[in-house]
Amino acid sequence: MEKLSLEDRVALTGAIVGLLDSWGVSAADQVALLALPEGTRPGAMRQFRKSTPFPEDARVMERIGHLIGIADALRTSYPHNAHMGSIWMNRVNHRFDNRTPLAAMIADGLRGIIAVRTHLDCAYDWHISGSDGSARPS
């Protein structure tokens, strides 16, 4: 991901927190889901909602990229009902061991986030899994 200005980082942070809020993710689970630095307290999410950007950390930015991909795939899957994405994220799904996609993401970390994205986004799935199991070039 390219280097973002402070203003863009604040806007991106607000959008991601808003997305996670819309999915019903608690502040503590948001901290874990985003892999925010050790010691980040759930109360810090209030500052992220207002005007503090997420830290410039490769792990955090990787997860944000996947969350954006998931949100885009949900928007494409349910173009006429913005609330369906939240409903889908919170509905038990056999593909995630009879857990909700959200529960799988929280419990399994990056592996769970990628599993949800791959399930929703066939283009991303195709990109990361070639016929021989290796990643396809960009």
What pLDDT sits at residue 18?
Answer: 95
What pLDDT sits at residue 124?
Answer: 64
What pLDDT sits at residue 133?
Answer: 47
What pLDDT sits at residue 2?
Answer: 66
Structure tokens at 9: 């980082």
Q: Which residues contact 93 (CB under 8 A, 6 or more apart)?
A: 99, 100, 101
What pLDDT sits at residue 58?
Answer: 94
Q: Where are the domains of the chain?
A: 6-128
Neighbours of 48 (CB within 10 A): 22
What pLDDT sits at residue 130?
Answer: 59
Q: Which residues contact 119 (CB under 8 A, 6 or more apart)?
A: 95, 96, 101, 125
Q: How far apart are CA 9 and CA 3, in angstroms?
A: 9
Residues of the chain with pLDDT under 50: 131-138
What pLDDT sits at residue 4?
Answer: 87
Neighbours of 55 (CB within 10 A): 14
Q: Which residues contact 11 (CB under 8 A, 6 or more apart)?
A: none
